[in-house]
Amino acid sequence: MNAHSPVVADRERIIEERRRSTLKLIGLFWLFAFAVLTVRGTLVDTQPFYLLAPRRLLTAGFGALLCLGMVYLLERLKERSFPERIAYAMAGALAMSALLTIFSLGLNRIMFPIEGARPTKIVESVQWVMVWMGYFLAWTGTQLALTYHWEAQDEVQRNAAMRDLAQEARIAALRYQINPHFLFNALNAISGLVLEQRNYEAETMLLNLAEFLRSALASGQGGTIELDEEIGLQRLYLGLEEARFADRMKVTIEVPNALAEARVPTLILQPLIENAVRHGVDRSEKTTTIRIAALRRGEKLSLIVEDDGDGGGRPPKGGTGLGLANVRERLHAHFGEGARLVTRPRVHGGFHVEIEMPLSVGS
C-alpha cells in the first residue's frame, strides 16, 4: 500500500490524535495532583507556599515523566493479554510511587533542603508511597481504560473493513460469474452463424462482442455505474443479437433523463435481457419486442425488462436458471433486503421481470 494513501494518512492522523490525548491526560492529571497537594499544604504545612510550590511543581513534573515511561512500557506490551497488562500496570504504579517518594525526599532533604525541617521517618515515607500509589493507580486505570477503548475502536474498524472487503469480493465474484455464461452463449451463437455460412453476421457479432467486453471491463468502478452507461452496454449487447435475429427482434428503451445518473450494479440488466433474447426471441416464430424501462417509485428505482414472445421468458426444461439467480444474489449483496426481483408471465404472452432497488444518484 502506498505510504501516502488515504488509509495510511488517516491511520497516522488517528495515532497522532491519540498521542496528544495521552499527553493531555498526563498534563491534566498532574495539574490536578499539584492543586490537591497545594490545598492540602495550606492546611497542614508549616512552610510558606512560595517555598514549597516550586518543589511541588518539580515533583509533579517528575511524576509526569514516570507516566510517560509507563505509557512507553504499556505500548511495548500491547500484544499481551489485557489481564497481563493490568498486572504490569499495578506493579508499575508501585514502582513509580516508590521512585516519586525517593525523588521528593531527595529534593527536599538533599538538593534543596528546607531549613528547620524535621527528619522524615520511615513510616512517613511508607505513607507517601501509599499516597502516590493511589494517584498512580488512578492514572494507570484511566490510561488502560482509554487504551482498551481505542483497541475496541480499532477492532470494530478492522471487522468493518474485512466485511467490506468480503462484500466487494462477493459482488465481484457474482459479476464475473455471469461472464463465462454469457460468453458461452455468445460464442455458441457465433458458431451457429458460421455453420449456417452467415459469415457477415458472424463477423459483425464478433466485432460487437469485442466492443461489448472492452466497454464492460472498463466500467463499474466500485461495482456500480450510472444507468445511462448501463443502458449503453446493453445496446452493445443487443447489437450482438441483432446480427443473428435481424427482423425477428425489436427493442424499445424507455429511460427518463431524470434517471440517467442513477447508480445501478454493473451489468445488472444483461442476464435479464439475455434471457428475453434466448427464451423469448429465439423460441418465437413472430417478431418479438423487448422492452427496457426505468421508473421512479418514491425513493425506489424500478428497472423493467419484458418481452412479448411465445417462449414465456423462462429457461427451458434442463436450463440452469443462472441469470435470474445471479441477479438476485447481486441485488442482495449490494442492498440486502432493500432490493427485490419480481418475475411473472405476461397475460398476453411473454415474460416480465422487474428489479426494485434504492434510488441513488452520484458516485
Of 38-47, 126-135, 203-212, highest mean pLDDT: 126-135
What span, in angstroms and rounded, lies between the C-alpha atoms of 6 and 75? Answer: 25
pLDDT at 53: 73
Quick one: cell of 119? 527528619
- Say yes or no to pLDDT of 295 above 90: yes
Instruction: Please list, in sequence order, all residues whose beta carbon lies within 8 angstroms of the beta carbon of residue 285, skipping any fewer than 6 positions away.
Output: 310
What span, in angstroms and rounded, lies between the C-alpha atoms of 212 and 116? Answer: 96
Quick one: cell of 45? 504545612
Look up residue 157 and give its DSSP letter. Answer: H
Of the pLDDT bands very low, low, confident and very high (cuts 50, 70, 90), residue 91 is: very high
What span, in angstroms and rounded, lies between the C-alpha atoms of 205 and 256? Answer: 29
What span, in angstroms and rounded, lies between the C-alpha atoms of 358 and 105? Answer: 71
**Cα 54 to the chain's mean position, in Å?**
52
Of the pLDDT bands very low, low, confident and very high (cuts 50, 70, 90), residue 283 is: confident
Q: Check: CATH 3.30.565.10 for 198-358?
A: yes
Give the residue carrying C-alpha cell 498512580.
Answer: 136
β-sheet bridge partners, residue 361: 262
- Say yes or no to pLDDT of 46 above 70: no
Of the pLDDT bands very low, low, confident and very high (cuts 50, 70, 90), residue 171 is: low
- Say yes or no to pLDDT of 93 above 70: yes
What span, in angstroms and rounded, lies between the C-alpha atoms of 89 and 74? Answer: 8
Quick one: cell of 190? 457465433
Give the residue carrying C-alpha cell 511524576.
Answer: 63
For the chain, give the percent of residues with pLDDT over 90: 22
Residue spans of the domains in the chain: they are 6-161, 198-358
- Mean pLDDT, residues 145-152: 88
Q: What sign results for the dihedral spanned by CA atoms 317, 347, 322, 166? A: negative
- Say yes or no to pLDDT of 320 above 50: no
pLDDT at 356: 96
**Would you tell me how many other CB atoms lie within 10 Å of the CB of residue 46?**
10
Statement: the pTM of the whole predicted model exceeds 0.85: no
What span, in angstroms and rounded, lies between the C-alpha atoms of 140 and 8? Answer: 29
Instruction: Please list, in sequence order, all residues whose beta carbon lies within 8 angstroms of the beta carbon of residue 220, skipping any fewer than 6 positions away.
Output: 175, 265, 266, 267
β-sheet bridge partners, residue 291: 252, 306
β-sheet bridge partners, residue 9: none
